[in-house]
Amino acid sequence: MDEKTLYAKLLGLTSPWGVEKVELRLDEGDVHVWVALPPKQLWVCPDCLERAPIHDHRERVWRHLDTFQYRTLLHARVPRLNCPRHGIRQLRVPWAEEGSRFTALFEALAIDWMKQAPLAAVAERLHLSWDEAAGIQKRAVRRGLARRELETIRYLGVDETSFQRRHEYVSVVTDLERMRVLHVADDRKRESLDSFWQGLSREHLGSIEAVAMDMWDPYIRSTRAHLPDADSKIVFDKFHVAQHLNKAVDKVRRQENRQLLAEGKPWLVKTKFSWLRNPENFTQQSWREFAPLRESVLKTARAWALKEAAMCLWDLRYLGVVERNFRAWYNWAIRSRLEPIKRVARMIKAHWANIKTYFKHRITNAGAESINAKIQMVKYMSRGFRNRQRFRNAIYFHCGGLDLYPPGVQLGQ
């Protein structure tokens, strides 16, 4: 088998394309492969498939998979056709997407690597510029979003994730059943979520049974404006309630710690994480060591007991029992004389209608929080993002569950 036939096989070329010549340039570390078409070939417009004459040719070069340790470059004079209906159109080549400077197989390799390593590391190992690697990722996401057929969705999670410091966020909508990101938008305004709802058909909106979110007013207003019967479908996430209660407990602890230190009693020093830790995460030893504090008459112990009693509400099964226990808990919290706890209790009561919808739908934003953690890991591995669009692309790439590969390339090929 000669070198032309070998490279034609390796490239998967079919008639009328063929390898014209192969040149090894040892000093440059490159292999150059020239691909050509037979002369006087008749062509059709790639858009309408009507016969069209050749207008001119353009020299194009694509990066292909390396041949051993040598970078491989594919050359071709690609005809541009003069279609009577569509004007000048370039003939599409079978080994690469339109507008790409890389063959489909090379892009597939880069996508596989980007799934496992930061974009900058992939760029370095494949001898690409950072912008070239980002361009491959951007095209992969564009393909995946164009191919995605949105099935009916039952449960959604709406959350925000930090883009940079200084309280800069993006809004993320998650399919809680399939664990994939459906929508990413800048900021956490009403408009950020409006753009998602407006992209859904009436059928898709009607299929949504519940939406888990935190008590963020812009998200609430957007959901009520677009989702039919939204008030029975919005579920305020229990982990968001727990976050507010934890902050209240910590505020009580800090206030009491200052008072105790003034009296020369360091009882609450270095105990912060014991009060905030989930009891399920204690070891037997640490739980025994924590017992004297949680069983004491400290204000922080009362705040902690109120927090734990509130979280037990989500373990109940019958709404009547939940309502009765919530009223008892609320009365206890209001009489506790702990202002941080009382403020959270009033907030919970004000939002109780959409907290108790949990007992109808039984969903939380735990899945969205899991994806959020993955997003933060991607951001950490990439050493942050300065460009919002590239941050959105990275989220869709790693968390969107998309078909990212070029046409004709199988997963992992």
Compare 61 and 12 and report the one with higher pLDDT.
Answer: 61
* Average pLDDT, rounded, for the chain: 92
In this prediction, residue 413 carries a pLDDT of 47
Query: How much is the average pLDDT of 347-357?
Result: 97
Query: How much is the average pLDDT of 71-93?
Result: 89
In the chain, the amino acid numbered 379 is: K
In this prediction, residue 41 carries a pLDDT of 75
State the pLDDT confidence band at 412, using cuts at 50, 70 and 90.
very low
Burial of 374 (0-12, 13-18, 19+ CB in 10 A): middle
In the chain, the amino acid numbered 204 is: H
Query: How much is the average pLDDT of 153-175?
Result: 89
In this prediction, residue 166 carries a pLDDT of 62
In this prediction, residue 248 carries a pLDDT of 98
Query: How much is the average pLDDT of 82-106?
Result: 89
Cα within 13 Å of Cα(55), Cβ side: 15
State the pLDDT confidence band at 325, using cuts at 50, 70 and 90.
very high
DSSP secondary structure, 154-190, as one string? SEEEEEEEEEETTTEEEEEEEETTTTEEEEEEEBSSH
Asked whether the predicted pLDDT for residue 327 surpasses 50, the reply is yes
**Which has the minimum average pLDDT: 11-25, 310-324, 347-361?**
11-25
Query: Residue 85 in 3-state DSSP?
Result: coil
Residue-wise pLDDT tens digits, 6-36: 888 888 888 888 999 999 999 899 999 999 9
Length of the chain in terms of residues written: 413
* Contact criterion met (CB below 8 Å) for 32 and 22: yes
Asked whether the predicted pLDDT for residue 370 surpasses 60, the reply is yes
In the chain, the amino acid numbered 352 is: W
> pLDDT above 70 covers what percent of the chain?
98
Secondary structure of 104-161 in HEC code, one letter for each residue? HHHHHHHHHHHCCCCHHHHHHHCCCCHHHHHHHHHHHHHHHHHHCCCCCCCEEEEEEE
State the pLDDT confidence band at 49, using cuts at 50, 70 and 90.
confident
| Phi-psi label, residue 364: left if phi above 0, alpha if psi -120 to 50, beta otherwise | beta
**Tokens read off for 292:** 């004297």
- Report the predicted TM-score, pTM, of the whole model to 2 decimal places: 0.88
Query: How much is the average pLDDT of 274-297?
Result: 94
Output DSSP code: residue 102.
B
Residue-wise pLDDT tens digits, 223-272: 999 999 999 999 999 999 999 999 999 999 999 999 999 999 999 999 99
> pLDDT above 90 covers what percent of the chain?
74
